[in-house]
Amino acid sequence: MELLEQRIRRDGVVKGTDVLKVDSFLNHQMDVALFEEIGREFLRRFDGCGVNKILTIEASGIGIACVTAQSFHCPVVFAKKSQTKNIAGEVYTTKVESFTHGRVYDVIVSQKFLGPRDNILIIDDFLANGAALEGLIDLVNQAGARLVGAGIVIEKAFQPGGDRLRAKGVRVESLARVKSMSEENGVEFVD
Ligand code: 5GP
């Protein structure tokens, strides 16, 4: 998505070898007009697939998922990072290792909001090693829901998550795919 790649080139900041900061427009301050374009692009890619619910993970997926849901005319459910050690029934639960914080979270979704009649589109801001996406897919499977696919804003294609999930048969649509990046030379995209 050309508009998004231009914005990443202009405002993205590379930290070290593997972290791209986009907090001026994507996941801290949010450019909602850009989100609308992102939502329309996800709809273009997943139109006609029967999506009736969007699933994301807190916190930075929520804004993008909500604006995308306006294009799909469906609700959003976000998986919560739970502090609770003993999680009672009535929730699906999985574990996700955070890329940015390096710790493992219990992640939960109420069984009220995910079930066998749902056709789920997962939305997230980044795809790196794939832990967040795999956790969300686990929740979809526990619920007996159907996974339509995953819409990712920025995939760091030099990290293994995207390839691994596609090899498992998951339809992953990423709007910007970063081939390589460095503090000196900035960001290069997959053609
Ligand atoms: P994964 O689970 O695929 O390794 O990482 C995905 C999650 O980590 C995303 O939900 C995102 O919040 C965070 N993340 C991964 N890489 C980056 C990055 O380069 N920059 C930012 N800002 N977040 C990232």
What gap in Å lies between CA 38 and CA 109, rounded to an integer? 25
- Side by side, the strands of the sheet bearing 53-57 are 91-97, 104-110, 76-82, 53-57, 119-127, 146-156, 172-182, 186-189
Note the residue count of the chain. Answer: 191
The reported pLDDT for the residue numbered 108 is 96
Which are the contacts of 190, defined by CB distance < 8 A and separation ≥ 6?
Answer: 157, 177, 178, 179
Query: In angstroms, what is the span from residue 157 Cα to ligand 1's centroid?
Result: 12
The finding on whether 27 has its CB within 6 A of some atom of ligand 1 is yes
Give the pairing type, strands 76-82 and 53-57. parallel
Going by alpha carbons, the residue nearest to atom 22 of ligand 1 is 21
Report the predicted TM-score, pTM, of the whole model to 2 decimal places: 0.96
The reported pLDDT for the residue numbered 87 is 57
* Ligand 1 atom closest to Cα of residue 19: 19
pLDDT tens for the chain, residues 1 to 191 = 999 999 999 999 999 999 999 999 999 999 999 999 999 999 999 999 999 999 999 999 999 999 999 999 999 999 999 866 555 679 999 999 988 888 999 999 999 999 999 999 999 999 999 999 999 999 999 999 999 999 999 999 999 999 999 999 999 999 999 999 999 999 999 98
CATH of region 2-189: 3.40.50.2020
The finding on whether 127 has its CB within 6 A of some atom of ligand 1 is yes
Query: In angstroms, what is the span from residue 56 Cα to ligand 1's centroid?
Result: 13
Sketch the domain layout of the chain as residue ranges.
2-189
Residue 175: left (phi > 0), alpha (psi -120 to 50), or beta?
Answer: alpha
Q: Is the peptide bond before 59 cis (omega within 30 degrees of 0)?
A: yes
What gap in Å lies between CA 117 and CA 53, rounded to an integer? 10
The reported pLDDT for the residue numbered 162 is 98
